[in-house]
Amino acid sequence: MKKSILRATLALVLVTVLVVPALAVDTPLEQIESRLQKLEEQTGIKIGGALRVNYGLQDWSESSREKKGDFAFDLFRLNVDGEKDDLLISAEYRFYPQYDFHTIHHGWIGYDFTDQLQGQLGVHQVPFGIQPYASHNFWFSGAYYIGLEDDYDMGVKLLYNADPVQVAAAFYKNAELGNPGDLERYSTDLVHDGTQTNEETNQANLRVAYTLQHAENWSTEIGLSGEFGQVYNSTTDDSGDHWASAVHLVGNYGQLNVQLEYAAYEYSPENPVGIDDSIIRVGGFGFAWDAPAEASVGIFNVAYTFPVSWGPVDSIQVYSDNTIIEPDENSQGTAWQNVVGTLLSAGPLYTYIDVISGENMIFMNGNPTTPDDERNTRININFGYYF
């Protein structure tokens, strides 16, 4: 019922914004776009979004191999961004037909206290490690699947930017969804599923970065990140804690980009007797999975961008993204992931072509908590139109 209402609301919004003005004056697409631009000028609010389709082939799946992969409607999203009466707003809602769910990506209200200091209240990106992504590919790094890349939570954040220094401090009351039993979420969080009943609460984050400007289009960012919070267990009605730290480097040297990050984390929940404390239960995208409660993470990524003029294609980026997850528990196994691919940019159309390989990697038919040390490979091609 909830999904039906939201889908109907989305359809009504699209008809109201795009179709009704067109029918009223019988105008072509260019005039509809002009109306949206005028709406932005009048209200200070910009409406955007994206539509993506995805092809995937998994070598560990007999059905995938036999069918030569699957082609699916991956995503439709709506974005609202703007400023009104000195208040900032940014929100994004996503629909994933392939996984049959929809969810908030982010949504916050902001205010610029000065030219260098901004405050945000709501669901926003957790300031940790390389921002906004510790990866170049569509699949992200292995850190995403343990909650340390592109994570969004509910709280308040202050951003201070006075080049060459950037500082972000935040407090999060809980994950982006108030219900830890709801697996239909974008970010990877602690969730209630099966015997695990832990959830994130009262988390503080601090990220500091400094940029060294060597020359025009040549710079190196170095940074430190720290995170500490509580882990509430609804079964024992008691709280443990968790922490994470990271050091990172992002180098932009002409058309070459390098990303390096080392992170460590530990969860110490107050589980009931009989629950394995060396494993945490996390989830997202409608699924739940086990992850090491304590591990270190290494990321090494390199990318090179070629400006081209091949018809509509204006740039090609090639990359190799690498992740290693080393659990502290001896019975668990090392996980690694390599993504070799290319991003083709043609105006509003972005196409990712990735070959993803890994061992014991989550969402790659493996898991470091139950290692089998078998290499798996996935071919993934994503076509996205962003407006």
Nearest to 247 by CA among 265, 229, 260, 266: 260
Nearest to 95 by CA among 352, 348, 285, 288: 285
160 touches 138 (CB < 8 A)? no
Peptide bond into 132 cis (omega under 30): yes
* Confidence (pLDDT) at 30: 61
Nearest to 304 by CA among 288, 316, 295: 316
* Confidence (pLDDT) at 44: 80
Give pLDDT < 50 ranges for the chain: 1-2, 4-27, 29
Exposure of 360 in the CB half-sphere (CA atoms within 13 A):
19
Supply 145's token pair.
């699947």
* Confidence (pLDDT) at 208: 98
- Collapsing DSSP to helix, strand or coil, 372 comes out as coil
Q: Give the pTM.
A: 0.90
The gap from C-alpha 238 to its chain's centroid, in whole angstroms, comes to 30
DSSP secondary structure code for residue 177 in this structure: S
pLDDT, one tens digit per residue, over 13-46 is 443 444 434 444 444 546 656 776 777 777 788 9
Give the length of the chain: 387
What is the Cα–Cα distance from 323 to 261, expressed in whole angstroms? 9
201: number of Cβ within 10 Å: 16
190 touches 148 (CB < 8 A)? no
Peptide bond into 97 cis (omega under 30): no
What is the Cα–Cα distance from 380 to 69, expressed in whole angstroms? 9
For 330, counting Cβ atoms within 10 Å of its Cβ (0-12 exposed, 13-18 middle, 19+ buried), the class is exposed
According to DSSP, the residues that pair with 111 across neighbouring strands are 87, 119
284 touches 189 (CB < 8 A)? yes
Supply 331's token pair.
């019975």
What is the Cα–Cα distance from 193 to 181, expressed in whole angstroms? 7
What is the Cα–Cα distance from 222 to 212, expressed in whole angstroms? 8
Nearest to 336 by CA among 78, 141, 113: 141
What is the Cα–Cα distance from 235 to 310, expressed in whole angstroms? 59
94 touches 105 (CB < 8 A)? yes
Does an H or E element contain 342, and which? strand 335-346
